[in-house]
């Protein structure tokens, strides 16, 4: 399977254009530890987002990027953890990795849509073969984005699911 970048680079904040292992500025990191949400100055929180990825560095990068946009973020490190979070909390968007050890992203998306059909889902993948295979998003997935992606690409995918939903 052909990949876009080395697998290790996709598992770190650097894959998302963020510096080092701890991409959070001190002010955001403090709120992160306290479990608070941080909004962009003057911005509105438009989504409570569940990010699902079995790589902690990728979850941290997503958190950083999405909080810059003013969103509240929760992460889950597996498909099963995501389903447990969805059973107890309300989310406006799910962003899931495709390649996870317990459940593939498209399988998670189908399960979520079976229970919460209106919940938009973006699937992120690090393989060009996976991206190219999805000329149309797989069943249950509203948008597919390839890793690494830019902040603008993530913003565009989110705008598309808002228009669809």
Identify the CA nearest to 53 among candidates 35, 72, 75, 69: 75
Question: In what side-by-side order are the strands of the sheet with 93-97?
Answer: 72-76, 48-52, 93-97, 121-125, 143-146
Which pLDDT does position 24 carry in this prediction? 39
Joined together, the tokens standing for residue 20 give: 């080092």
SS3 142: coil
130 falls in which pLDDT band (50, 70, 90)?
low
> Per-residue pLDDT tens for 49-70?
999 999 999 999 999 989 988 8
Give the percent of the chain with pLDDT over 90: 44
Which DSSP letter does residue 3 get?
B
In the chain, the domains with their CATH numbers are 7-35+54-164 (3.40.50.2300)
Cis before 6? omega within 30: no
Which pLDDT does position 68 carry in this prediction? 87
Give the mean pLDDT of 83-110. 94
Which pLDDT does position 128 carry in this prediction? 59
Position 135 pLDDT exceeds 90: no
């Amino acid at each position: 399977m052909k990949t876009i970048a080395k697998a290790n680079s996709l598992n770190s904040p650097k894959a998302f254009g963020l510096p080092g292992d701890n991409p959070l500025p001190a002010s955001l990191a403090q709120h992160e530890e306290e479990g608070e949400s941080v909004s962009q100055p003057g911005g509105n929180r438009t989504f409570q987002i569940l990010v699902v990825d079995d790589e902690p560095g990728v979850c941290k990068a997503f958190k950083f990027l999405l909080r810059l946009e003013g969103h509240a973020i929760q992460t889950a490190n597996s498909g099963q953890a995501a389903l447990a979070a969805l059973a107890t909390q309300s989310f406006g968007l799910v962003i899931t990795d495709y390649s996870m050890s317990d459940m593939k992203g498209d399988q998670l998306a189908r399960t979520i849509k079976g229970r919460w059909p209106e919940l938009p889902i973006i699937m992120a993948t690090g393989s060009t073969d996976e991206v190219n295979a999805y000329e149309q998003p797989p069943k249950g997935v509203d948008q597919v984005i390839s890793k690494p992606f830019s902040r603008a690409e993530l913003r565009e995918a989110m705008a598309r699911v808002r228009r669809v939903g």
